[in-house]
Amino acid sequence: MKAKRSFSSPSQIVIALGLAKYALKASFRNKASYFFSLIFPLIFVVIFGLLGNSGASIKLGVSDTIDKTNPIYQTIKNLSEQENAPIELIEGSEPDLEKQLSQAKIASIIAPDQSVRPMAGSLTLVSSNSNPQGKAAAESFLSGVISQMNIKASGIVRQPFAFNAKEISGKEYRYIDYALPGQIGFSLLSIATFGIAFPLITLRKTLVLKRMFATTVKPITFVVAQCLSRSFQAMLQAAVLLTVGVLAFHFTLAHGWITFVQMIFLSFLAVLAFLGFGLFIGNVARDEQSLPIALNLFNLPQILLAGVFFPIDGMPKWLQFIGNNLPLAYFNTALRKISVEGIAFVDIWPYILGMIVWGFVAYIAAARVFKTE
Partner 1 sequence: MHRHFAYTNLSMENMIEVKNLVKRYGQMTAVDGISFSVKQGEIFGLLGPNGAGKTTTLEIIETLKPATEGSVLVDDFDIHTQAQEIKKRIGIQLQASGFYPNLNLIELLNMFAIMYGVKVDAMAMLKEFNLEDKSMSFFDNMSGGQKQRFSLASTLINTPRVIFLDEPTTGLDPQARINLWDVIRDINKKGVTIVITTHYMDEAEQLCDRLAIMDNGRIIAEDTPEKLISDLLARGFKRHTEVRAATLEDVFLDFTGRNIRES
Point out which residues bind partner 1 (CB under 8 A): 2, 5, 7-11, 14-15, 18-19, 22-23, 25-27, 29-30, 199, 202-203, 206-208, 210-217
**Helix 291-305 crosses helix 317-324 at what angle (to 10 degrees)?**
120
Give me the least distance between CB of 39 and partner 1, in Å please: 18
The total number of residues shown for the chain amounts to 373
Q: Are 259 and 338 in contact (CB under 8 A)?
A: yes
- Closer residue to partner 1 in complex, CB, 207/319: 207
Give me the least distance between CB of 25 and partner 1, in Å please: 7
Give me the least distance between CB of 247 and partner 1, in Å please: 31
- Closer residue to partner 1 in complex, CB, 9/164: 9
Give me the least distance between CB of 20 and partner 1, in Å please: 10
CA atoms within 13 A on the CB side of 58: 26
Q: Which residue blocks in the chain are alpha helix, DSSP H?
A: 12-29, 33-34, 40-53, 71-80, 94-102, 132-154, 175-205, 208-213, 219-249, 257-284, 291-305, 317-324, 327-339, 349-369
Per residue in 55-68, is it b (16+ CB within 10 Å) or e — as a string? Answer: eeebbbbbbeebee
Q: Are 213 and 15 in contact (CB under 8 A)?
A: no
Q: Which residue blocks in 155-218 are alpha helix, DSSP H?
A: 175-205, 208-213
Give me the least distance between CB of 194 and partner 1, in Å please: 15
Give me the least distance between CB of 7 and partner 1, in Å please: 4
| Closest to 251 in 3D by CA, of 261, 265, 241, 264 | 241
- Closer residue to partner 1 in complex, CB, 142/209: 209
What contacts 105, CB < 8 A, 6 or more positions away? 59
Give me the least distance between CB of 233 and partner 1, in Å please: 13
- Closer residue to partner 1 in complex, CB, 288/347: 288
- Closer residue to partner 1 in complex, CB, 18/92: 18
Which helix (H) or strand (E) covers residue 112, if one does? strand 108-112
CA atoms within 13 A on the CB side of 88: 12
- Closer residue to partner 1 in complex, CB, 14/43: 14
Give me the least distance between CB of 30 and partner 1, in Å please: 5
